[in-house]
Amino acid sequence: MAGLGAVIAQRLDEWGDHALPLERMLFGSTEPDQIAEAVDAWCRAHLGAAIDHYVFFDSSSGTVHGLALTDGRAVVVKGHRPAVAAAYLRAVAVVQKALADATYPAPRPLAGPEPLGAGHMTAETMLPRGPATDGHAPLVRAALARGLARFVEITRPYTTQFAAVRHPMDVPPGALYPTPHSPRFDFAASAPGAEWIDELAGAARTRLQARPVTPTVVHGDWRVENLFVADGGVVAVYDWDSVGVAAEAVALATAATTFSVDWQQPPGRRFPAPPEIRDFVADYERARGEPLAPDERETLAAAIVARLSYGARCEHAIASQAPPLDDSQRRLLHQLGPALLADGLRALDAG
């Protein structure tokens, strides 16, 4: 077992200062070998095989372990924070299976959710991973938009699976933001200086709450880092604990403002420029086969402001580690927020 956590240790060296609060809550340790031993024990108990070696490790809103097992299977084991309920994870598994059955590039659930520590663990088949892709490339952007449109089309009948399930990133009534997806982001402690962000978030939330919408099942983190694009199409979709129920326009807002983001790449061109946001929306409309209705476009404009406000608030909360201002959600929000609220999606043409 010695050295099984080497991939985890290497990842931590790359990150530098990273406290791993979720790993402590789930495994009772932040030491790489002890984390790996806990995951190995879980695999033996729930997958019937031990870990042969680690393929990758990541940690953000969840702790993610890409593993090759001794029986030859390649799997992804994920630990979920306490806010992610078992009922929600079961609903996601139903959707994953439905998509996989429809030949959509979704992983098949294998085990879980099973309680561990303060949260839950799940396992799924490992999908292929490829080299980093430039999300700004028009053909890649169009492939991402088509993949999202097909996701929404296939999953629409499964909305009832989530009817009684609260997504951990849902915004509570009366709140401006969801509970941050990582303990790194302390909104209360970082409130000073964020007043302009909160003001735009409040205006956007007021508009969204005033609009009745038809919910559907969506992927809430549709960006190139969570997808594998090859040969003009999406061939693998990751990050399934971002799946939930929302208005189609709200999911489109998140995707349109972050589709090009890959946090593994150096800053400089992560976030899309306003014309790229506009073009992603147009690509999506073509993929779904009909343009957005006027009320959907108004919802989309407000949802873009709300999404950028949350991202800007996260950046503000970790000012010393935030991306550079010229390639950030703070800049996009400052540039687009007031105009989107005043002029709707026409602001993307001016931007």
pLDDT tens, position by position, 212-240: 778 899 998 999 999 999 989 999 999 89
Q: What is the mean pLDDT of residues 93-121?
A: 95
The domain defined by 6-125 carries CATH number 3.30.200.20: yes
User: Do residues 306 and 231 touch, judged by C-beta distance below 8 A?
Assistant: no
Confidence check: pLDDT of 60 > 90: no
Q: Evaluate whether 327 touches 267 at the Cβ level (below 8 Å).
A: yes
**Residue in the block written with tokens 């292929």:** 128
- Position 242 scores a pLDDT of 87
| CA distance linking residue 257 with residue 281, whole number of Å | 10
Tally of residues, the chain: 351
Q: Which one has a higher pLDDT value, 166 or 32?
A: 32
Residues 95 and 107 sit within 8 Å (Cβ to Cβ): no
Interatomic CA distance for residues 344 and 301, integer angstroms: 5
Reported as a single tens digit per residue, the pLDDT across 307-349 is: 999 999 999 999 988 889 999 999 999 999 999 999 999 999 8
Domain with CATH 3.30.200.20 in the chain: 6-125
3-state secondary structure of 284: helix
The reply to whether omega before 168 is within 30° of 0 (cis) is no
Is the domain covering 138-350 a CATH 3.90.1200 domain? yes
Are 76 and 236 contacting, i.e. CB atoms less than 8 angstroms apart? no
Flag whether pLDDT at 17 surpasses 70: no
Give the mean pLDDT of 188-193. 95
The residue-averaged pLDDT of 168-190 equals 88
Query: 77 or 214: whose pLDDT is higher?
Result: 77
For residue 160, the 8-state DSSP code is G
What band does 1 get if pLDDT is binned at 50, 70 and 90? very low
Summarize pLDDT for 247-303 with one digit per residue, the tens: 999 999 999 999 999 988 888 899 999 999 999 999 999 999 999 999 999 999 999
Nearest to 82 by CA among 109, 63, 58: 63
Tokens encoding 303:
């949802």
What is the rounded distance in angstroms from the CA atom of residue 29 to the CA atom of residue 18?
A: 13
**CA 226 to CA 142: how far, in whole Å?**
16
- Using CA atoms in the order 229, 234, 235, 238, what is the torsion angle rounded to 10 degrees? 90
3 state DSSP class of 239: coil
Residues forming CATH 3.90.1200 domain(s) in the chain: 138-350
Confidence of residue 21 (pLDDT cuts 50, 70, 90): confident
pLDDT, the chain, mean: 92
At residue 254, the pLDDT reads 95
Please give the residue that has the higher pLDDT: either 241 or 26: 26
